[in-house]
């Protein structure tokens, strides 16, 4: 199924679907079953004394990890009686800081399995935090949770490890020692997975359904994914009247759509959407950037009710000048028709903060009165004139010097905000000296909002009048992207023939659409500024204002591509 959104992809030869795009069967999934022995029940007050782990794939043991660990404290007598591990046994044992690197390497990217997983994972996470190691965030499976789905009360009245071992007749008997318990847990795991296969739990992506079961009426809707291609792109859930309910992107459309009905979706709005959904449409895309751009365009076009990002673009905040002889700064919702425009801003509050910073620094008037060209007879200025913070065109007219303030503000908004920063720096210091931290923070936030807004504005404007083709390595292939005037004109993913793909996209520049959404331009600029991007063709001048962008964007010549495109782009 496809959508009626215009296809921006240029179909090129060389696209190849990888094995990772069709899901990972459980028989090829690597599991690491871990068990810990500790000095107590809480990672905040207790420590690990032993780690045992078994690595399996396809039901076969491919590795084991076992070590005693010096906890740095005496083991309570009750724990000694339970595990048989004594202080004397741990005298020569390594500390957990010494053990963690080896264990994390053994774990790799496997699925982490444990019986009562919160206990074991909690101790491991705590140890990583204490010793400066980043927890890898592996997918976790708790065999207690699986047992509740795979066993009956008759065969396993409780879900203790020893009870499950007897129920499944494991070859290893649990004995409160880490490696033996891990071996027993591994056997139990594979017995339960065999049982659960009859319920459609056959791929790694299905494991979440065991932790967060879905209602039967929603699980039945998983059949929607049967005809969905296992390729990257955009998916659209439709309602009973054909209305578009939700738009999203994925590198594997089939797996992602199926996951909505098998992974126990907990967000109430999405649950509501799934109950309404009667079908799903897909739009296959050549590259991840194309998928994100198509998603943005579809959300803007159809305004699906369940997309949080479907906020109307007309609500986006910009900063501009009013159209009058003595203009003032204002927040506007239109990206055109206002002088000195800057944006998009991150909200009306940030827009007002940036405006106040410019007003305070450069003397732009704050009053909302529409002034006459020639001041009225008897007009009086406000206190800001006496404080030197406004040129007061309300009383001095064209001779007030207000035009210079407007020009300085325009230059700061459209170019370099340094004059505003420099002007406010001393004021902020003065507020701090007087312990008026609230006023100092207000000015600081205004400067931050101004710099952020001007940077975003300049980045979006940087691609105006520019046409280019760029290449970036992605997995085993290459993403080729064509951009015209800030619009994604085409893209392709190729494993070879990079030069031909670039040339073909360049030849199709004339077919590009005339305009793009702000969010689309931001996606494109971020992609171009990311590490590894190579420019192949360009017409016009593009200079990204982002810090460090020049270090990331490189040129690739035709000769380089002709000689050895793949090897050159790998560097």
* Active-site hit among 131, 176, 190, 552: 176
φ, ψ at 281 (rounded to 5°): -105, 155
Question: What's the CA angle centered on 83, arms 77 and 87, to 5 degrees?
Answer: 55
437-463 as b/e: b if 16+ CB within 10 A: eeebebbbbbbebbbebbebbbbbebb
Q: What is the 3-state secondary structure (H, E, C) of 443-511?
A: HHHHHHHHHHHHHHHHHHHCCCCCEEEEEEEECCEEEEEEEECCEEEEEEEECCCHHHHHHHHHHCHHH
Going from the C-alpha of 320 to that of each of 341, 345, 358, 462, the distances in angstroms are 4, 11, 12, 19
Cα–Cα distance, 149 to 147 (Å, whole number): 5
Q: How far apart are the first and last CA of the chain?
A: 39
Considering only the C-alpha atoms of the chain, give the largest distance between any 2 of them, rounded to a whole number of Å: 102
DSSP 8-state class, residue 210: H
List the beta bridge partners of residue 472. Answer: 479
The dihedral through the CA atoms of 233, 239, 240, 242 has a sign that is negative
Strand extents, DSSP E, 58-183: 60-68, 111-114, 140-142
Beta strands 30-38; 48-57: pairing state: antiparallel
The dihedral through the CA atoms of 18, 22, 28, 31 has a sign that is positive
Q: Is 554 a catalytic residue?
A: no
Cα–Cα distance, 118 to 115 (Å, whole number): 9
List the beta bridge partners of residue 50. Answer: 37, 68
Cα–Cα distance, 413 to 542 (Å, whole number): 20
Peptide bond into 344 cis (omega under 30): yes
How crowded is residue 321: how many other Cβ atoms within 10 Å of its Cβ? 20
Element (H, E) at 282: strand 279-284
Cα–Cα distance, 35 to 45 (Å, whole number): 19
Element (H, E) at 537: strand 534-539
List the beta bridge partners of residue 48. Answer: 38
**What residues act catalytically?**
176
């Amino acid at each position: 199924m496809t959508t009626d959104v215009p296809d921006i992809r240029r179909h090129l030869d060389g696209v190849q679907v990888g094995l990772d795009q069709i899901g990972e069967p459980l028989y090829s999934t690597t599991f690491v079953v871990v068990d810990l022995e500790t000095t107590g029940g809480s990672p905040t007050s207790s420590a690990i004394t032993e780690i045992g782990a078994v690595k399996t794939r396809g039901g076969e043991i491919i590795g084991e990890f076992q070590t005693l660990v010096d906890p740095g404290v005496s083991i309570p007598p009750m724990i000694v009686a339970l595990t048989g591990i004594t202080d004397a046994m741990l005298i020569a044992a390594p500390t957990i800081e010494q053990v963690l690197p080896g264990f994390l390497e053994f774990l790799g990217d496997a699925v982490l399995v444990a019986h009562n997983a919160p206990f074991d994972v909690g101790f491991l996470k705590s140890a990583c935090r204490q010793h400066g190691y980043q927890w890898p965030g592996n997918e976790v499976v708790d065999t207690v949770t699986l047992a509740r789905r795979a066993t009956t009360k008759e065969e396993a009245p409780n879900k203790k490890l020893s009870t499950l071992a007897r129920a499944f007749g494991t070859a290893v008997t649990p004995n409160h020692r880490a490696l033996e318990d891990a071996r027993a847990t591994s056997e139990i795991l594979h017995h339960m997975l065999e049982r659960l296969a009859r319920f459609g739990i056959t791929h790694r992506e299905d494991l979440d359904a065991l932790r967060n079961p879905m209602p039967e009426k929603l699980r039945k809707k998983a059949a929607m994914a049967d005809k969905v291609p296992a390729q990257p792109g955009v998916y659209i859930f439709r309602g009973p009247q054909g209305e578009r309910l939700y738009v999203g992107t994925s590198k594997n459309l089939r797996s992602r759509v199926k996951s909505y009905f098998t992974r126990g979706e907990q967000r109430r709005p999405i649950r509501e959407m799934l109950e309404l959904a009667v079908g799903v449409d897909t739009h296959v895309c050549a590259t991840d950037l194309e998928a994100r751009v198509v998603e943005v365009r579809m959300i803007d076009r159809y305004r699906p009710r369940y997309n949080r990002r479907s906020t109307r673009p007309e609500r986006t905040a910009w900063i501009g000048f009013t159209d009058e002889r003595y203009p003032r700064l204002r927040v506007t919702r239109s990206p055109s028709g206002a002088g000195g425009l800057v944006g998009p801003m991150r909200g009306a509050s940030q827009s007002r903060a940036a405006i106040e910073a410019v007003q305070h620094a450069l003397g732009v008037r704050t009053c909302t009165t529409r002034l006459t060209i020639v001041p009225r007879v008897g007009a009086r200025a406000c206190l800001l004139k006496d404080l030197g913070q406004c040129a007061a065109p309300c009383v001095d007219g064209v001779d007030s010097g207000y035009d210079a303030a407007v020009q300085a503000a325009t230059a700061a908004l459209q170019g370099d905000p340094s004059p505003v920063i420099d002007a406010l720096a001393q004021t902020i210091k003065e507020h701090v000296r007087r312990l008026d931290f609230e006023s100092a923070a207000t000015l600081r936030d205004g400067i931050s909002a101004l710099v952020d807004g001007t940077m975003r504005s300049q980045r979006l404007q940087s691609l105006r009048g520019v046409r280019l083709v760029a290449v970036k390595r992605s997995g085993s292939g290459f993403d080729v992207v064509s951009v015209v005037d800030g619009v994604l004109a085409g893209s392709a993913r190729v494993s070879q023939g990079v030069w031909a793909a670039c040339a073909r996209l360049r030849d199709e520049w004339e077919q590009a659409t005339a305009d793009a959404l702000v969010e689309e331009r931001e996606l494109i600029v971020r992609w171009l500024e990311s590490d590894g991007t190579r420019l192949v063709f360009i017409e016009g001048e593009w200079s990204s204002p982002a810090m460090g962008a020049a270090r990331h964007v490189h040129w690739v010549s035709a000769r380089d591509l002709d000689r050895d495109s793949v090897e050159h782009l790998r560097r």
